[in-house]
Each structure stands twice: as C-alpha cells, then as structure tokens.
Amino acid sequence: MNMSRYWEVERPKTITTCRNVLSYYPAAERLAVARPMWTDDRGVKRNGRSVVLDLESVFDGGEHTVRQARAIFADVIHKFDTWLDTLGG
C-alpha cells in the first residue's frame, strides 16, 4: 500500500462526536484526530483541522518512546474502562 496517500486507499474506522472525529487507519498505522466538519461563509462543508499520530514514527523513537506512548494509551484505556464501569456493565 502506498502510505503517502493512505487516506485514499484505506477506509478508516471512524468515531464522530460533537467535538472530535477519530479516524484510525490500521494498515497505515495512523490515527487522525480532527475537529468536526464545519460550513464556511459560502455554505461549503469543510473538514475540521486535524493532526495525525504516525505509529511508525513512535516505533522509530525506540523502546523508551514506545513505553512512554504505551503508558499514555494505557491511561486513556483506564479512563474508558472507568467510565464504562459507571454504566453498571
């Protein structure tokens, strides 16, 4: 897969909330976080600004960097689990 234009060839797993759009491209190892779409003054729908986490660049940072990133994501998962536990299930 040509990773330079991964968004054109891979369909992401997407989650849309009122404040964010998360798009995960597993094959490309990219996670995009964007603001929601908006409409400009001419009525044209526009994509919100986004940033992309390139997992390969994290891996290139070596073991220490990967361990730090893993700790951050583990904390996020813990917060998800804690929130889900409040639902009683």
State pTM to two decimals: 0.83
pLDDT in tens, the chain (89 residues): 446 799 999 999 999 999 999 999 999 999 999 999 999 999 999 999 999 999 999 999 999 999 999 999 999 999 999 999 999 86
- DSSP annotation of 49 reads P
- DSSP annotation of 59 reads H
Sign of CA dihedral 33, 11, 17, 40: positive
Structurally, the chain folds into a number of domains equal to 1
Domain range for 74 is 3-85
Q: What amino acid occupies position 55?
A: L
